[in-house]
Amino acid sequence: MRSGLSRPTVGLVLSTLASAGLVTVGKARQGSGGGRPSPVVEPTDQHLVATVYVDVTGVEVALCGLGGRILAVAATNSSVRDPEWVVGEAARLLDRLLVPFNGISRVLRVVAVVPGRVKSDEGLVVNAPHLQWQRVALATALAEATGLPSELAHDGHAGALAEWRWGTGRETNDLIYLYAGPGGVGAGIISAGSLLRGSHELAGRLAHVAVSDDGPLCYCGAHGCLTTHLSAAALDAAIGGNGVERSAASLAERMADLGADHPVMQRLAAQLTRGLRTVVAVFDPDVIVLAGALTGFLNVAGTRVAGALAHTNLDVARDAVRVVEPTLGSQQLHIGASDIGFASLLEDPSPTIATADGS
């Protein structure tokens, strides 16, 4: 991906980032295409972002370096959903992770990721139905518990940013991300190189696209939403479980045992295709990333879904959309959250430079 910046501007940016301790700039080397050699730029571990992922299965904390790098992860599996416990456990896990980095790295901020509606500018979880949270000031609580500036992000937004910048969407500026996790289906939309948020941060709530006419009642008040059929719990119930299985790996094995031609898998594929057709018609993406439990579903029934998507009345006007699995694995939400945390620093590294200078 090219920046479009002139060589002198790139040099100035690199000098600023190096002064902030974010990167090291090594001796220039000749590229394979000829021309002037380019400097070798490497991120450092001097400044880190801590990320917190909260879901119905527990809390997970990661230490992240610049460039989508995960340095350490710790988690506590628990069904406890009390916000005070979650904040305390996140702070405890972070303290544990920091021990090997004492005197080496400094954590700049904390970014928490949750499945639910958030107001990121207020650090507020407005409503997270699966966690049974309403109007939880999570960022403020984390800041008080850790002593670090803290902010909040929606899980689908974090996943979309991660796969766009560092994963399977690096070659496009138009991407749809769908994640079926323990707390429902999250989504994020990258359109023309920008994350869509909307006036109330509700843009891209693709979990509530209707995929059946008489489906289960959703917590949003509608029937047949995509999340009622294709969340991890819904997939578990559909393939013969009791609706409490949360493991994407376990669900993938059981869906593979059924096979793409099983009537249940055919029905689920038709429902997913119905939802994706709507998404393609509205947003015209190059790539659709199916993550979490949907990755296992894609591996079993992907050919059926892709084939059904190709046979629409739009296929004569556009190239076929690619439906793919994520390349970043289980840490994609932490990677996206760390990008959010580093964003303000990259826009203005001067406070970090001042701290490093002791001024």
pLDDT tens track for 181-220: 877 899 999 999 999 998 888 888 899 999 998 889 998 8
pLDDT band, very low/low/confident/very high, at 227 (cuts 50, 70, 90): very high
Number of Cβ within a 10 Å radius of residue 42: 10
The model's pLDDT over 13-46, given as tens digits with 9 standing for 90+, comes to 777 777 777 777 777 666 555 566 677 888 778 8
Q: Given strand 194-195, what is the order of strands in its sheet? A: 194-195, 184-191, 175-181, 287-292, 322-324
The model's pLDDT over 279-295, given as tens digits with 9 standing for 90+, comes to 998 999 999 999 999 99
- In the predicted structure, residue 353 carries a pLDDT above the cut 90: no
Given the structure tokens 């790139």, which residue do they identify?
10
Q: What percentage of the chain reaches a pLDDT higher than 90?
A: 62
For residues 343-354, average pLDDT: 70
The pair of structure tokens assigned to 269 is 């594929």
The model's pLDDT over 74-122, given as tens digits with 9 standing for 90+, comes to 999 998 889 999 999 999 999 999 999 988 889 999 999 999 899 999 9
User: What is the pLDDT of the chain when averaged over all its residues?
Assistant: 87
pLDDT band, very low/low/confident/very high, at 153 (cuts 50, 70, 90): very high
Whole-number pLDDT of residue 39: 75
Select the more confidently predicted residue: 86 or 355: 86
- Beta-ladder partners of 177: 188, 289
Q: How distant, in Å, are the alpha carbons of 14, 125, 332 from that of 201?
A: 33, 12, 21
Q: How far apart (Å, rounded) are the C-alpha atoms in residues 254 and 250?
A: 6
For residues 251-277, average pLDDT: 93
What are the residues whose beta carbons fall under 8 Å from the beta carbon of 1, sequence distance 6 or more?
170, 171
- In the predicted structure, residue 359 carries a pLDDT above the cut 60: no
What are the residues whose beta carbons fall under 8 Å from the beta carbon of 137, sequence distance 6 or more?
122, 123, 124, 125
The pair of structure tokens assigned to 170 is 């690096």
Whole-number pLDDT of residue 213: 87
For residues 319-326, average pLDDT: 86
Number of Cβ within a 10 Å radius of residue 310: 11
Taken in order of first residue, the domains within the chain and their CATH numbers are: 47-156+332-357 (3.30.420.40), 168-327 (3.30.420.40)
Tell me the pTM.
0.88
What are the residues whose beta carbons fall under 8 Å from the beta carbon of 220, sequence distance 6 or more?
208
For residues 313-337, average pLDDT: 81
Whole-number pLDDT of residue 4: 59
- In the predicted structure, residue 312 carries a pLDDT above the cut 80: no
Whole-number pLDDT of residue 23: 78
Select the more confidently predicted residue: 347 or 355: 347
> What is the SS3 string spanning the chain?
CCCCCCHHHHHHHHHHHHHCCCEEEEEEECCCCCCCCEEEEEECCCEEEEEEEEECCEEEEEEEECCCEEEEEEEEECCCCCHHHHHHHHHHHHHHHHHHHCCCCEEEEEEEEECCEEECCCCEEEEECCCCEEEECHHHHHHHHHCCCEEEEEHHHHHHHHHHHCCCCCCCCCEEEEEEECCEEEEEEEECCEECCCCCCCCCCHHHCECCCCCCECCCCCECEHHHHHCHHHHHHHCCCCCCCCCHHHHHHHHHHHCCCCHHHHHHHHHHHHHHHHHHHHHCCCEEEEEEHHHHHHHHHHHHHHHHHHCCCCCCCCCCCEEECCCCHHHHHHHHHHHHHHHHHHHCCHHHHHHHHCC
- In the predicted structure, residue 246 carries a pLDDT above the cut 80: no
- In the predicted structure, residue 172 carries a pLDDT above the cut 70: yes
pLDDT band, very low/low/confident/very high, at 310 (cuts 50, 70, 90): confident
- In the predicted structure, residue 354 carries a pLDDT above the cut 70: no
In degrees, rounded to 5, the angle at the alpha carbon of residue 185 between the alpha carbons of residues 75 and 326 is: 70
pLDDT band, very low/low/confident/very high, at 156 (cuts 50, 70, 90): very high
Q: How distant, in Å, are the alpha carbons of 45, 66, 185, 249, 329 from that of 343?
A: 16, 10, 26, 32, 22
